[in-house]
């Protein structure tokens, strides 16, 4: 492909989850040429979530796939183009950013990275088979389905302790399986002890998870090993909290700054360390990992990108921007 044949766009969004789809609604309504690249499922993790029960405006909840499809339909109605493919590299060429993709090189005046993150898996039999049918990775999303039921939580870090405490609002009892020792902060460990003393949570240290077992498409127990002996925990559901993996592998070696875990660092206007490249949603360092907040960040990013394209985003110092307050689209 010659340089003259390279596609040029106003905005290329990497990812087509809730953040990118919401952003695309705003940019395309302003007649900003917008292309979205998605390597997996349009809608991201939302699309493979059985039921989203905490998205504002849906009193009875909404199926994740339906929510994702609605977001896609809305973005496409205004003119967004979604292409299945993968971006493998971003480089700064001044007024344009060059994206190396599985469809060839492309140029964009602005880029929004909204590739999200994925739940770190423990890789045991039954984990994949019972995903969203008894195996979960988000207590806020799915905890309410387990009112007065028994749960197993796997993990020993801050998130596992925080989410276990949250799940006590619903579950009758929680067995917390910790591979070695609890690594959570002292404050959280003291808080956890209150629930242990009340009998709401039982902590099982030095307990490895070997298998998640089910019957008739529902989880029934977790099989593990403790000090060389087989142990079993009857349960109605399993929540796994062993960390998140940001989808930023394609940024390795780029000039876009990541935090120590691999999430993208941004300034207060969602711009990365590469001028003209923005990030929103679960891939951004400091994100709250909720669909509603991802949609909000996507809308904010779109408004700021519009200001950037109009030349109203003026640099004042390194990695700092002064911006006129975006007007509603």
> What is the token pair recorded at 249?
């592998």
Instruction: With respect to residue 329, please indicate whether it lies within any of the assigned structural domains.
Output: no
Instruction: With respect to residue 177, please indicate whether it lies within any of the assigned structural domains.
Output: yes
> In a 3-state reduction of DSSP, which class is residue 151?
strand
Specify the pTM.
0.74
110 bridge partner residues:
11
CB burial string 242-270: b at 16+ within 10 A, e below:
bebebbbebbeebebebeeebbbebeebb
pLDDT at 312: 87
How many whole angstroms separate alpha carbon 4 and alpha carbon 280? 31
How many whole angstroms separate alpha carbon 284 and alpha carbon 262? 9
Instruction: With respect to residue 229, please indicate whether it lies within any of the assigned structural domains.
Output: yes
Question: Chain centroid to CA 70: how far?
Answer: 19
Q: Specify whether the CB–CB gap between 47 and 64 falls below 8 A.
A: yes
CA dihedral sign of residues 251, 283, 30, 64: positive
What one-character DSSP code corresponds to residue 291?
H
How many whole angstroms separate alpha carbon 47 and alpha carbon 272? 27
Sites in the chain below the pLDDT cut of 50: 316-326, 329
How many whole angstroms separate alpha carbon 321 and alpha carbon 318? 8
Instruction: With respect to residue 170, please indicate whether it lies within any of the assigned structural domains.
Output: yes
Q: What is the CATH number of the domain that holds 147?
A: 3.50.50.60
Structural domain harbouring 112: 3-118+244-323
For residues 113 and 130, state if they share a domain: no
For residues 236 and 249, state if they share a domain: no
For residues 248 and 113, state if they share a domain: yes
- Number of domains forming the structure of the chain: 2
Task: Please identify, among 221, 240, 259, the residue that sits at the C-terminal boundary of a domain.
Answer: 240
Task: Please identify, among 220, 240, 260, the residue that sits at the C-terminal boundary of a domain.
Answer: 240
Instruction: With respect to residue 28, please indicate whether it lies within any of the assigned structural domains.
Output: yes
> What is the token pair recorded at 40?
């997996």
For residues 174 and 230, state if they share a domain: yes
Q: Give 258-263's long-range contacts (Cβ < 8 A, gap of 24+).
A: 258/285, 259/285, 261/285, 263/117, 263/287
Task: Please identify, among 213, 240, 267, the residue that sits at the C-terminal boundary of a domain.
Answer: 240
């Amino acid at each position: 492909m010659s340089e003259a044949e390279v596609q040029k766009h106003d905005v290329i969004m990497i990812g087509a989850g809730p953040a990118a789809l919401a952003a695309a609604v705003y940019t395309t309504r302003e007649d900003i040429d917008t292309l979205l690249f998605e390597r997996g499922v349009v809608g991201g993790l939302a699309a493979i979530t059985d039921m989203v029960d905490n998205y504002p405006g849906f009193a009875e909840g909404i199926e994740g796939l339906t929510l994702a499809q609605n977001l896609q339909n809305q973005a496409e109605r205004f003119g967004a183009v979604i292409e299945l493919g993968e971006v493998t590299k971003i480089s700064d060429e001044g007024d344009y950013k060059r994206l190396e993709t599985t469809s060839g090189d492309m140029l964009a005046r602005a880029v929004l990275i909204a590739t999200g993150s994925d739940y770190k898996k423990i890789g045991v039999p039954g984990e994949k088979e019972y995903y969203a049918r008894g195996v979960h990775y988000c207590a806020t999303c799915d905890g309410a389905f387990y009112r007065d039921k028994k749960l197993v939580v796997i993990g020993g870090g801050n998130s596992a302790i925080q989410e276990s405490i949250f799940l006590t609002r619903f579950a009758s009892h929680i067995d917390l399986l910790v591979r070695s020792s609890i690594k959570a902060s002292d404050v959280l460990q003291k808080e956890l002890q209150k629930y242990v003393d009340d009998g709401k949570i039982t902590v099982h240290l030095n307990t490895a998870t070997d298998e998640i077992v089910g019957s008739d498409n529902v989880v029934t127990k977790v099989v593990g090993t403790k000090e060389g002996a087989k142990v079993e925990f009857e349960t109605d559901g399993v929540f796994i909290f062993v960390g998140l993996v940001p989808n930023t592998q394609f940024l390795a070696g780029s000039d876009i700054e990541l935090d120590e875990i691999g999430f993208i660092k941004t300034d207060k206007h969602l711009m990365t360390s590469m001028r003209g490249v923005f990030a929103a949603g679960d891939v951004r360092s400091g994100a709250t990992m909720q669909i509603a907040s991802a949609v909000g960040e996507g809308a904010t990013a779109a408004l700021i990108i519009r200001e950037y394209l109009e030349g109203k985003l003026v640099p004042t110092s390194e990695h700092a921007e002064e911006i006129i307050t975006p007007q509603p689209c």
